[in-house]
Amino acid sequence: MYRDIGEYISRESENNEYGDAFVQKLADFFAKNYPDLKGFNRRGLYRMKQFYELYKDAEKVSPLVTQLSWTNHLKIMSACKIMDERIFYMNMYIKERLSKRELERQIDSGYYERYMLSQKPLTLAIEESRRATGNIFLDNYILEIGKDFTFIGEEYRVQVGKHDYYIDLLFYHRDLSCLVAFELKIGEFKPEYVGQINLYLEALDREVKKENENPSVGVILCASKDDAVVEFALSRSLSPTMVSEYNLKLIDKKLLQRKLKEYIELAETGSGDE
């Protein structure tokens, strides 16, 4: 239905002398005659038009398109820049039987970008730049964050109730005697990321942390073209003394921000060189 409506809007917009005004007139019609109908405002109608125009000539996508809900298509359309990325997430959703939340999490964490980076060796230019700048990011987005950090795993599974969650990167800090969870996000920082990682830390402390170890700590890295944001998530059970110790021995936020931005710039340069 959304595809057919999108096709109608696309064709009428081309033929109609009013152009974009046609979409607004159509939105006004729905608002007046079908006020209880959701999603048929101006923005929603443009989404249907975009949906049709994105996939009308992509024959290999047709079997995939019908297997996703409209809500999931909206997420993919708004977040993905190229067709290969859209196909990647559609295939992942179908093959791994992801929930809506799981699909959103994979997209928000930039899984496609990280997967593509992991499939390519670093170019000579990136490798030279990494050595020259002292970049703390290892090949294929695994972090090297100091001698006291020991890498445990990526996409580390934790369970809360009947639900499985996956931590992007998990480390152990030998000096602080605690687990350190890293979440990598593409785009701007969102407040809900803190709640998400606090849930992971609670699961780690209940199921993974040993009795003699300190509460887990989380690090949120948000990378966008305009900014690099680093946030620490500390357990509420920490005493002021331990909070001070954690802040002292964990990597400085400004350093992480700088290195995160360097890595993203180098990766983008490398992708262009390839």
When the pLDDT of each residue in the chain is averaged and rounded to a whole number, the result is 78
pLDDT at 58 over 80: no
Given a cut of 70, whether residue 5 has pLDDT beyond it is yes
Q: What pLDDT sits at residue 243?
A: 74
User: Is residue 216 within 8 Å of 204, Cβ to Cβ?
Assistant: yes
Ranges 106-110, 142-146, 261-265: which has the least confidence: 142-146
Residue type for position 245: E
Q: What is the pLDDT of residue 118?
A: 59
Residue 143, helix vs strand vs coil: strand
pLDDT of residue 188: 75
Q: Which two tokens stand for residue 33?
A: 């005659």
Residue 263: the pLDDT is: 64
pLDDT over 50 at 132, yes or no = no
Confidence check: pLDDT of 26 > 80: yes
How is the chain split into domains, by residue range?
1-116, 124-270
pLDDT score at 222: 81
Q: How confident is the model over 120-125, as a mean pLDDT?
A: 42
pLDDT digits (tens, 9 = 90+) for 207-251: 899 989 988 988 888 876 667 778 788 766 666 777 777 777 777
CA distances from 226 to 41, 53, 105, 143, 187 (A): 31, 29, 21, 21, 9
Q: How confident is the model at residue 145 (pLDDT cuts 50, 70, 90)?
A: low
pLDDT: is 5 or 63 the higher one? 5
Confidence of residue 18 (pLDDT cuts 50, 70, 90): low
**What average pLDDT score do residues 74-82 get?**
88
Domain spanning 124-270, CATH class: alpha beta
Alpha helices (H) along 172-224: 192-207
> In DSSP terms, which residues pair with 173 in a beta bridge?
149, 178
Strands in 79-227 per DSSP E: 149-160, 163-173, 178-186, 217-223
pLDDT number for residue 130? 44
Give strand ranges (E) for 14-162: 149-160
For the stretch 149-195, pLDDT in tens is 788 887 888 887 777 888 888 888 888 888 999 888 777 788 888 88
Dihedral sign for Cα 80, 86, 91, 94, please. positive
- Give 155-158 contacts, CB < 8 A, sequence gap 24+: 156/181, 158/200, 158/203, 158/204, 158/207, 158/208
pLDDT of residue 142: 42
Q: At what angle do helices 100-108 and 83-95 cross, to 10 degrees?
A: 140
Question: Which residue type does 171 have?
Answer: F
Mean pLDDT along residues 196-201: 88
Q: What 8-state DSSP symbol labels residue 237?
A: T
